[in-house]
Amino acid sequence: MGKPTGFLEYERKSAPAVPPEKRICNWQEFHQPLPEKERRIQASRCMECGVPFCQAGVDLMGRTTGCPLHNLIPEWNDLVYRGNWKEAWHRLKKTNSFPEFTGRVCPALCEVACTCHLNGAPVGGKETELAIVEKAYQEGWAAAEPPTARTGKKIAIVGSGPSGLSAADLLNRRGHSVTVYERFDRPGGLLMYGIPNMKLEKRFVERKLRVMEEEGISFITGADVGRNVEAGELLSTYDRVLLSCGASRPRDLNAPGRDAEGICFAVDFLRGNTKALLDSDWKQTGSVNAKGKHVVIVGGGDTGNDCLGTCIRHGAVSVVQIEMMPKPPEARTDDNPWPEWPNVLKTDYGQEEAIAVYGSDPRIYETTVKEFIKDSRGALAAVKTVKLAWEVENGRRVMKEIPGSEQELPCELLLIAAGFIGAEDYVADAFSVQRDNRGNVQTPDGEFLTSVPGVFCAGDMHTGQSLVVKAIRQGREAARAIDYDLMGYTNLIVQ
């Protein structure tokens, strides 16, 4: 696929980013697409490797490598190289319901597994994917395509994040009538309120939602199933129900002084900020604001990084990001060969911005919070941290505090971005579905039907916290399972 010698003739070239000093002045996306001519050259680097690991989507050593959606990456690279954008779009949408989202927020598992990455820079599959879908919107190819016939079957989907939306997309395409219930005031779930605008502009989420409405999908917002909407009402009204509410229960910190004012979960902070910006036409930020404050973020993952970028845009005096794990190596180690996911140091956009604004990397590794220190009013004034070390105890590696390593950091706002521990209890309890010991809704391996007949589950609520691309795959597979359960057969193709 592509030009046979392209990977030898051309170096990888990525979409340029707006310099940190400029992009922190607004909430807009900051990558500037390559010109079409250069994008085609980049697509030509696909090397006809014979075995396209890029589309494998397999788990190696506990991490996924290759696209979980099994996108036909070599095929659309070849088509883009040859200028056949419309056919590239048709190949792309066969496997991916939302390339406009994954092309922006996916960590590019395809590129990790690219054969070019064995000895050099991988092919830029993620950026080519985004170029294809944006070309499709520009040319009108991505316009609404309502089904030509309806089956008479009705399906309720609880949750409008990536898994719920992808299931809705396929089930509606099949001809079923789909209604999506969302507890917040706007549909989109994680895509709308969990990911900051500078990473995924909400106009692109709204654009796709409009297309889905034009195709016949109904969205009901402010509908908190299990609270202001009864589970029994859905079970009696619809032929099948899909639970896709995410794993939105955050992991807390247990340390003295936890009741101090100024401690907030990252998910609430990010949601409040995006909602305030949308409600005010980008003029006001959320009620929890980092302006003029020393901020500590607990958690070194994507959510922590998103909090970091948000706090910098607020105008924080300083931001420190605490991570319990050791600092990753700069390059692959011998026990982490290609095509495994590279366990190496990644400096994301938030860290880049912090280095530019504050002059140093904000991350502190092998550290945790030992105490929250309050002022006389009960507000957070500082945090006491302690260093951690790995030890072997009863044959297991555990982290232990290093005596005498305590440090006090000024802090008026602390954001907890330490991950999630499963779905909200009240939704699962409302439907009486069984859960596993991690708090996820339980189904037989490889299946999506819960312990309650007619009730299915997909996405993070099913698997635990994961990636947008994996949630999309879960939703597509659940749609196929629901269609088969309803009709006795299915012609939905998910890969």
Domain segments of the chain as ranges: 6-139, 154-248+421-487, 263-416
At the second CATH level, the architecture of 263-416 is 3-Layer(bba) Sandwich (3.50)
To 5 degrees, how large is the angle CA 412–CA 262–CA 323? Answer: 75
> Closest by alpha carbon to 151, among 448, 493, 475, 489?
489
**Per-residue confidence (pLDDT) for residue 103, from 0 to 100:** 98
Place of tokens 């990456």: 73
Among residues 131, 147, 142, the alpha carbon closest in space to that of 15 is found at 131
The pLDDT of residue 395 is 86
Give the model's pLDDT for residue 3. Answer: 85
| b/e burial code for range 440-456 (CB count within 10 A of at least 16 → b) | bbbbeeeebbbebebbb
Which H or E run includes 294?
strand 294-298
pLDDT in tens, the chain (495 residues): 568 899 999 999 999 999 999 999 999 999 999 999 999 999 999 987 888 999 999 999 989 999 999 999 999 999 999 999 999 999 999 999 999 999 999 999 999 999 999 889 999 999 999 999 999 999 999 999 999 999 999 999 999 999 999 999 999 999 999 999 999 999 999 999 999 999 999 999 999 999 999 999 999 999 999 999 999 999 999 999 999 999 989 999 999 999 999 999 999 999 999 999 999 999 999 999 999 999 999 999 999 999 999 999 999 999 999 999 999 999 999 999 999 999 999 999 999 999 999 999 999 999 999 999 999 999 999 999 999 998 988 888 899 999 999 999 999 999 999 999 888 899 999 999 999 988 899 999 999 999 999 999 999 999 999 999 999 999 999 999 999 999 999 999 886
Task: Report angle CA 372, 373, 376 to the nearest 5 degrees.
Answer: 140
For domain 154-248+421-487, give its CATH number from 3.50.50.60, 3.40.50.10320, 3.80.10.10, 1.10.10.10: 3.50.50.60
pLDDT of residue 80: 97
Neighbours of 109 (CB within 10 A): 25
Distance CA 27, CA 293 (A): 20
Determine the 3-state secondary structure of 393 from DSSP. strand
Confidence (pLDDT) at 1: 59
Residue ranges with strand state E in 201-293: 218-221, 240-243, 263-265
CA separation for the pair 329, 364 (Å, rounded): 15
- Do domains 6-139 and 154-248+421-487 share one topology? The answer is no
> pTM to 2 decimals?
0.96
- Give the whole-angstrom CA distance, residue 231 versus residue 158: 10
What is the CATH class of 6-139?
Answer: mainly alpha
